[in-house]
Amino acid sequence: MSLFAPWRINREQRIRSDEESKSDIETAPKLVSFEIQPPRGTVKCQGEQQLKAIARYSDGTVRDVTNLALYESNDRAMAEANERGLVKISDISGNVAVMVRYQGQTCRSSALRSCWVRLSKIFQHQGISSTSMFLRNLKEIGIPPSPPCGDSQFLRRVTLDIAGRLPTEDENHRVSG
């Protein structure tokens, strides 16, 4: 008595199946490019931005692969991205990027998070030209620039920002002259 065993495939069937799958792989359209829309945007604090992932293939087809791509924020305290490409922004001002992966390719979408601080009056009051890239970026993300300061205060700020400590007495004396 012979029992049917679906896991038993004879050698001939296996070879035929392997050849068919190789043929499918060789003839299937290849991913040519992958992009995220929008590539850059400004989002209000505690707002949301829906990303769209677009794949272009060698046969000319264009496909929305938003639900197939993987999304990851570079700073989860600033933004969270779900599996459908919806990015939720927190209440912290700054820049955040979301990396998107699909079939071995990666793309990045940047979001400027502005908490809608009115900075133009602050910039004008301090006599600052908003033409420099640095100042334009501060304005976009809603962070006012620090007011001008003396050498010792500048040393204190820089040392705290870069080294995470206060300047030593010797460093203070060298700057003070």
Asked whether residue 172 carries a pLDDT value surpassing 50, the answer given is yes
Residue 35: predicted pLDDT: 93
Q: What are phi and psi of 90, to 5 degrees?
A: -85, -160
Determine what percent of the chain is predicted with pLDDT higher than 70.
Answer: 72
Q: What is the identity of the amino acid at 92?
A: I
Residue 90: predicted pLDDT: 86
Dihedral angle computed from the Cα positions of residues 144, 148, 152 and 155, in that order, rounded to the nearest 10 degrees: 50
Half-sphere exposure (Cβ direction) of 22: Cα atoms closer than 13 Å: 6
More confident call, 143 vs 96: 96
Q: What are the residue ranges spanned by the domains of the chain?
A: 29-114, 120-176
Q: Which residues contact 33 (CB under 8 A, 6 or more apart)?
A: 55, 56, 105
End-to-end CA distance of the chain, in Å? 102
For the whole model, what pTM was predicted?
0.56
Residue 118: predicted pLDDT: 45
Token representation of residue 2? 């012979």
Mean pLDDT of 135-155: 78
Residue 149: predicted pLDDT: 85
Distance, in Å, from the CA atom of 140 to the CA atom of 138, rounded to the nearest integer, reads 6
Q: What is the pLDDT of residues 81-138, one digit of tens each?
A: 999 999 998 887 778 889 999 999 988 888 756 554 444 555 555 555 555 667 777 7
**17 confidence band (pLDDT: 50, 70, 90):** low
Token representation of residue 115? 């908490």
Do 137 and 114 touch, CB atoms closer than 8 A?
no
Token representation of residue 156? 């204190």
Distance (Å) of CA 117 to CA 40, 87, 95, 103, 120: 20, 22, 15, 40, 9
Q: What are phi and psi of 80, to 5 degrees?
A: -120, 140
More confident call, 125 vs 165: 165
Q: What is the identity of the amino acid at 52?
A: K
Q: What is the identity of the amino acid at 176?
A: S
Q: From the centroid of its chain, how far is CA 71?
A: 9
Residue 18: predicted pLDDT: 59
Asked whether residue 12 carries a pLDDT value surpassing 70, the answer given is no
Domain at 29-114: CATH architecture: Sandwich (2.60)
Do 163 and 117 touch, CB atoms closer than 8 A?
no
